[in-house]
């Protein structure tokens, strides 16, 4: 989604610069920032971004589409989330921003899997962190005599034991 929004911004910036309009020049990181830029941006940059967001630029529409899509994860009902996606996709198609339409098509193809998150809010970061810890255990031990000892080391380091007396 972010890449598609950035493609819209780059294309529009190219066209605007040919006409002598440099409004989008130097604003890449403002658009790529998650949600509205906060206090970590200078006041002038926040003001500039507010003006750009309220303009009729295609980049502003693409950014609004990206931000609106975030609400999909707020739904607790698959039917409501699917209805939200349908409305969002109609909006995207209506504005005819090719990169955003492409992303909407990809999301449409994987919508069933995305909607599974509503019933089963499981993601990979915890598993990836656990795998990294297990790799660290194997590396730092410089080998084990057998699989049982590796299993015991994993239980010891990852088991969440309270070892305080």
Measured between alpha carbons, how far is 110 from 117 in angstroms, rounded to an integer? 12
In this structure, the answer to whether residues 41 and 88 fall within a common structural domain is: yes
Residue 15 belongs to a domain: yes
Residue 164 belongs to a domain: no
- The pLDDT value given to residue 36: 64
Measured between alpha carbons, how far is 44 from 12 in angstroms, rounded to an integer? 22
- The pLDDT value given to residue 151: 87
**What is the domain count for the chain?**
2
Residues in the chain predicted with pLDDT less than 70, given as ranges, are 34-39
- The pLDDT value given to residue 41: 75
Residue 159: half-sphere exposure toward Cβ, Cα within 13 Å: 10
Report how far Cα 88 is from the mean position of its chain's Cα atoms.
Answer: 17
- The pLDDT value given to residue 125: 86
In this structure, the answer to whether residues 95 and 144 fall within a common structural domain is: no
Q: Which domain range does residue 144 map to?
A: 125-158
């Amino acid at each position: 989604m972010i890449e598609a929004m950035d493609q819209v911004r780059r294309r529009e910036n190219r066209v605007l610069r040919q006409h002598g309009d440099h409004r989008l020049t130097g604003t890449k990181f403002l658009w790529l920032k998650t949600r509205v830029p906060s206090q970590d941006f200078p006041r002038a940059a926040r003001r500039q971004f507010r003006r750009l967001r309220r303009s009729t630029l295609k980049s502003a529409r693409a950014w609004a589409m990206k931000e609106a899509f975030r609400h999909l994860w707020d739904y607790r009902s698959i039917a409501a989330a699917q209805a939200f996606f349908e409305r969002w996709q109609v909006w995207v198609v209506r504005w005819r921003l090719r990169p955003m339409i492409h992303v909407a098509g990809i999301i449409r193809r994987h919508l069933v899997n995305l909607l599974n998150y509503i019933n089963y809010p499981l993601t990979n970061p915890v598993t990836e962190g656990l795998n990294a810890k297990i790799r660290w255990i194997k590396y730092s031990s410089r080998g084990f005599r057998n699989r049982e000892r590796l299993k015991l080391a994993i239980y010891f380091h990852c088991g969440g034991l309270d070892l305080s007396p």
